[in-house]
Amino acid sequence: MVVLGSSSSCCSVAIVGAVLVLVLVLNGADLCNGGKTSTFVRKVEKTVDMPPDSDVFRVPPGYNAPQQVHITQGDHVGKGVIVSWVTPDEPGSSEVLYWSENSEHKQKAKGKVNRYKFYNYTSGYIHHCTINNLMYNTKYYYEVGAGHTVRQFWFITPPEVGPDVPYTFGLIGDLGQSFDSNRTLTHYENNPQKGQTVLFVGDLSYADNYPNHDNVRWDTWGRFVERSVAYQPWIWTAGNHEIDFAPEIGENQPFKPFKNRYHVPYRASNSTAPFWYSIKRASAYIIVLSSYSAYGKYTPQYKWLEQELPKVNRTETPWLIVLMHSPWYNSYNYHYMEGETMRVMYEQWFVTYKVDVVFAGHVHAYERSERVSNIAYNIVNGLCVPVDDQSAPVYITIGDGGNLEGLATNMTEPQPKYSAYREASFGHAIFDIKNRTHAYYNWHRNQDGYAVEADSMWFFNRIWHPVDDSTSV
């Protein structure tokens, strides 16, 4: 057993006696500026991958049965869905049959099939089919595998884009396929708040941790998460484990498996690459950025984001959410400052356009920041510290999905002022938009019951209710 962190660490006041420290720990109270380092005590177990013959990796029965079924938003406004799946034996049909709950009439959408090779691995037949012009707020059934083994699933389209539509997003990052990953997914599924769409902040399968980036582990991951992502969209962000750059085995094209397997509607937001794009969903405008594509001045991502931010109409979509993989504000001793160069490029824009919240992963732990910015520095003035800024987003690191690399437990001490809460446990979070002014956010650790909240915060919208929503005393 290990006590994770200690709340004494954030106070540099040396005169605080041991007894007082103990009182502080027991109160869970926090009288120092550095926010809270959780004292939650967790059993430390090695994080191990589920073996290939695990129940969650089972191949569905039947000749050429579609597997690894997953959906994501297929257009800019939520009336489209991309359905993807893999057939193992032969290409089969790339058609999706779909019908709304109240209709008998089955409609057809035509997709495409492709395969890719990676070193000595050849993928199955990967199908992607975009369904367009769906009705909002409607349950649809869909079928894949026409001609051979047919499998049926369903999804519910989001309500029409508008300022006061409630909507509930789940947040998962750095998931992998360990026993802990399965716990995280199970907790998300059983959370009574019922997430309607997952915002996934990158690092999916961790296949690249296997010899020759064994792409069979991309297939097992696809089968593992099907039980959620075949029924609700996951919005994809590319992480470093999606790069799969392996010149030592002749694989020089970054993101090859990810790009072949996970399609996103990037063209709908006039992006030129699937690693950065945007969608509107209900009352949220979601911008996905790539920590592993060029983001300096004049680059495609920079130019796109520069034009994108002014387009966000907060009367239509009050909530502006950004997803990226590598966090800008991270006080763990893992991946420390890796997000710094991107922060330098874009942070001013996030403050100018009043981004509500930024979700990142990469660090295998949990952390939530205060609203801070660090944009005053200009090389000569020395103004290089994060300061309170009510126009700045809250930064949340949610890279605690539970992959085989294990937890990040080593934190910088003392806890920096900008860090509101940090804890080295696996889990997931929920961002529950109530209306244009209020959203309820909470984080769940896997050790607790499904309904238990370990950290929470009421978000006040930066445009419609720009009141201080800090949780610190």
Ligand X SMILES: *[C@@H]1O[C@H](CO)[C@@H](O)[C@H](O)[C@H]1NC(C)=O
Which x/- pattern over 217-256 shows residues binding ligand X (rule: CB under 6 A)? ----------------------------------------
In whole angstroms, how close is the CB of 103 to ligand X at the nearest point?
A: 29
- Helix pair 216-229, 179-190: axis angle to 10 deg: 20
Tell me, what DSSP letter sits at residue 160?
P
Of 392, 404, 402, give the one whose Cα is nearest residue 365. 402
Which x/- pattern over 190-229 shows residues binding Fe ion (rule: CB under 5 A)? -------------x--------------------------
Other residues' Cβ atoms within 10 Å of the Cβ of residue 466: 13
Span near Fe ion by CB under 5 A; candidates 68-76, 362-370, 409-417, 465-473:
362-370
Q: Encoding tokens for residue 169?
A: 């997003």
Tell me, what DSSP letter sits at residue 145?
-
Please identify, using beta-carbon distances, which residue of 253 and 315 lies nearer to ligand X.
Answer: 315
Tell me, what DSSP letter sits at residue 338?
T
Span near ligand X by CB under 6 A; candidates 198-206, 288-296, 309-317, 348-356:
309-317
In whole angstroms, how close is the CB of 358 to ligand X at the nearest point?
A: 21
| Radius of gyration over every alpha carbon of the chain, rounded to an integer in angstroms | 22
Binding partner selected for residue 136 from Fe ion, ligand X, none, CB under the kind-specific 5 to 8 Å limit: none
Q: Encoding tokens for residue 341?
A: 């160069």
Which x/- pattern over 309-348 shows residues binding Fe ion (rule: CB under 5 A)? ----------------------------------------
Which residue type occupies 278?
A: S
For ligand X, which residue of 182, 283, 290, 419 counts as binding (CB under 6 A)?
182
In whole angstroms, how close is the CB of 240 to Fe ion at the nearest point?
A: 4
364 is catalytic: no
In whole angstroms, how close is the CB of 208 to Fe ion at the nearest point?
A: 11
Strand residues in 213-276 grouped as ranges (E): 234-235
For ligand X, which residue of 4, 24, 50, 355 counts as binding (CB under 6 A)?
50
Which x/- pattern over 330-369 shows residues binding ligand X (rule: CB under 6 A)? ---x------------------------------------
In whole angstroms, how close is the CB of 242 to Fe ion at the nearest point?
A: 9
The distance between the two most distant Cα atoms of the chain, rounded to a whole number of Å, is 76
Q: Residue 110 and residue 412: Cα distance in Å, rounded? A: 52
DSSP letter for each residue of 405-456: T-----B-SSPPTTEEEEE---EEEEEEE-SSSEEEEEEEETTS-TT--SEE
Query: In what helix (H) or strand (E) does residue 368 lie, and over which residues does it extend?
Result: strand 366-369
Q: Residue 148 and residue 349: Cα distance in Å, rounded? A: 51
For ligand X, which residue of 6, 39, 54, 341 counts as binding (CB under 6 A)?
54
In whole angstroms, how close is the CB of 410 to ligand X at the nearest point?
A: 4
For ligand X, which residue of 9, 107, 293, 435 counts as binding (CB under 6 A)?
435
Q: Encoding tokens for residue 173?
A: 């990052």
Residue 59 pairs with which residues in a beta bridge? none
CA dihedral sign of residues 373, 376, 379, 380: negative
Contacts with Fe ion in 237-256 (CB under 5 A)? 239-240
Binding partner selected for residue 362 from Fe ion, ligand X, none, CB under the kind-specific 5 to 8 Å limit: Fe ion
Binding partner selected for residue 203 from ligand X, Fe ion, none, CB under the kind-specific 5 to 8 Å limit: Fe ion
Please identify, using beta-carbon distances, which residue of 390 and 435 lies nearer to ligand X.
Answer: 435
Binding partner selected for residue 231 from Fe ion, ligand X, none, CB under the kind-specific 5 to 8 Å limit: none
User: Could you give the 3-state DSSP secondary structure of residue 288?
Assistant: strand
**Active-site annotation holder among 241, 325, 335, 362:** 335
Residue 342 pairs with which residues in a beta bridge? none
Binding partner selected for residue 302 from ligand X, Fe ion, none, CB under the kind-specific 5 to 8 Å limit: none
Tell me, what DSSP letter sits at residue 290?
-
Which residue type occupies 105?
A: H
Please identify, using beta-carbon distances, which residue of 210 and 349 lies nearer to Fe ion.
Answer: 210
In whole angstroms, how close is the CB of 147 to Fe ion at the nearest point?
A: 39
| 187 near Fe ion, rule: CB under 5 A | no
Q: Residue 400 and residue 447: Cα distance in Å, rounded? A: 13
Please identify, using beta-carbon distances, which residue of 203 and 469 lies nearer to Fe ion.
Answer: 203
Q: Encoding tokens for residue 176?
A: 């992998």
Label residues 4-19 b or e (16+ Cβ within 10 Å = b). Answer: bbebbbbbeeeeeeee
Contacts of 135 (CB under 8 A, 6+ apart): 79, 100, 157
| 438 near ligand X, rule: CB under 6 A | yes
In whole angstroms, how close is the CB of 123 to ligand X at the nearest point?
A: 11
| 437 near ligand X, rule: CB under 6 A | yes
Q: State the residues that interact with ligand X by CB under 6 A.
A: 50, 54-56, 76, 120-121, 179, 182, 186, 212, 269-270, 311, 313, 315-316, 333, 410, 434-435, 437-438
Q: Interface residues with Fe ion (CB under 5 A)? A: 203, 239-240, 362
Looking at the annotation, which residues are catalytic?
335
